[in-house]
Structure 1
Amino acid sequence: MLDWLYGMLERDPTAVVLPIACLCGLLMGTERELRGHRGQLRVCVLVCVAAAAFSDLVVTRAESSNWANGFGSIAQGVGFLGAGLIMKDGATVRGVSTAATLWCVAAAGAAAGAREIVAALLVTLIVLGANLVLRPINIWARRRQTADTADGE
């Protein structure tokens, strides 16, 4: 399987990296969609594929000395998208984890576009792990904090 992938990557890298980015965005977006968050399926797929496309252009068309500018522009652009997801309502701030997830989605796409397939898949797995495993821990900690506050601590 990997030999076929590496063979394709040598012949037509763009034909490999864009579908891989789509898969990464699909996996991360599905988790957001199932939880009813604003950074939903289509957004994650589109951001991941766009980051991969831009990254593909950077590594194929730009001088290697300018790659940092290209990758930095991807991160900065998605940072602006993420900022639009963060909302403050009184003392409550919402959307930070969704914005952070979207930034990670772009990182996975950029890695895929830069031919760093293993890194793209690892970012995807780590983001899924963080959103699936850490969320229940976060909820438990909040409940405990609320209970401690109610007890007068």
Structure 2
Amino acid sequence: MTLDALPGFALPLVAAITAGGLIGFEREWRGRAAGLRTHILVALASALLMEAAVVQGLWRFMPLPGAEIVSDPTRMAHGVLTGIGFLCAGVIFRSGFSIHGLTTAASLWITAAIGLAFGAGLYGLGGVATALTVLVLVGLRLVSARLPQTSTVDAEIVWRRDAPDAESRIRAALEPLARRRGADHHGLCANGSRVVLRLRLIKVGPEETDVLARQLRDIAGVTSFELDPRDD
């Protein structure tokens, strides 16, 4: 490859940086673990590797005399998407029995795919994919903001086993709230002196969560509780 060919090679990289920046800005604005720089680097690396695979004939190696080289850029795409899975796994974490970071992991995955598209010279496909990704991340969040503010809340409540009326008062506080019955988990801790209840509340608004928290604080015998709304 000569220096004269650099402008042609730079365009896919610039497009990938722009796409990664647009997607990463939304994640950075939301305060996620993988933000602007991470998404830009993912898109840039994907485009760079794919572009190198597309022009494999320009690599500095000497084939054997009479040998015919068949280039398959899709193998590079498979390798990039496999490798990005390890990076995506790093932004997914578990809090209690809630899983967070799935949307950020998905945004990294689509950013890698967009970078591959630009690296292969598919500018139209990469541009449309970038616009759709930003629309999903930003537009759908604006839509959800206009909907009733309800969410799924993962709750964990711990109380003393010998506390009188603690369990009945806790269940009375939970009674008005809808929950997924199959997700209830019962257990003991602290050598059997504490009772643990984990459950999943559904279609719960912020006001209802605040009311439940106040009620739990006022119940004698409750040693700890955690109300964890799902927000990816």
Provide the rounded CA distance (Å) in 2 between the counterparts of 1:108 and 1:34. Answer: 21
Provide the rounded CA distance (Å) in 1 between the counterparts of 2:6 and 2:38. Answer: 30
Describe how 1:63-142 pairs up with structure 2 within 5 A. 63-64=70-71, 66-137=72-143, 140=147
Residue of structure 2 equivalent to 1:13: 8
Which of 204, 225, 230 aligns to 1:146? It is 204
Offset, 1:17: 0.7
Are 1:55 and 1:113, in contact at CA under 8 Å, matched by a contact in 2? Answer: yes
Identity, % of aligned pairs? 30
Q: Structure 2: where are the runs of 5+ without partners?
A: 58-69, 152-202, 209-232
Provide the rounded CA distance (Å) in 1 between the counterparts of 2:23 and 2:6. Answer: 28
Are 1:13 and 1:115, in contact at CA under 8 Å, matched by a contact in 2? Answer: no
Tell me which structure has the larger Cα radius of gyration.
2
Offset, 1:141: 6.8
Number of equivalent positions: 138
Residue of structure 1 equivalent to 2:52: 57
Structure 1 pair 86/16, CA: closer, same or farther in 2 (3 Å)?
A: same
Provide the rounded CA distance (Å) in 1 between the counterparts of 2:204 and 2:8. Answer: 51
Structure 1 pair 91/138, CA: closer, same or farther in 2 (3 Å)?
A: farther
Provide the rounded CA distance (Å) in 1 between the counterparts of 2:114 and 2:82. Answer: 15
Structure 1 pair 58/16, CA: closer, same or farther in 2 (3 Å)?
A: same
- What does the per-residue CA deviation read over 1:99-145, in whole Å, with 9 as the maximum and x for residues that have no partner? 00000111111100000011111111111000012234556477062
Q: Structure 1: where are the runs of 5+ without partners?
A: 1-9
Provide the rounded CA distance (Å) in 1 between the counterparts of 2:121 and 2:114. Answer: 11
Provide the rounded CA distance (Å) in 2 between the counterparts of 1:100 and 1:141. Answer: 25
Taking only aligned residues, the RMSD between alpha carbons, in angstroms, comes to 2.1
Offset, 1:88: 1.0
Q: Which has the higher contact order (CA 8 A, sep 6+)?
A: 1
The one-letter code matched in structure 2 to 1:131 is L
Structure 1 pair 141/83, CA: closer, same or farther in 2 (3 Å)?
A: farther
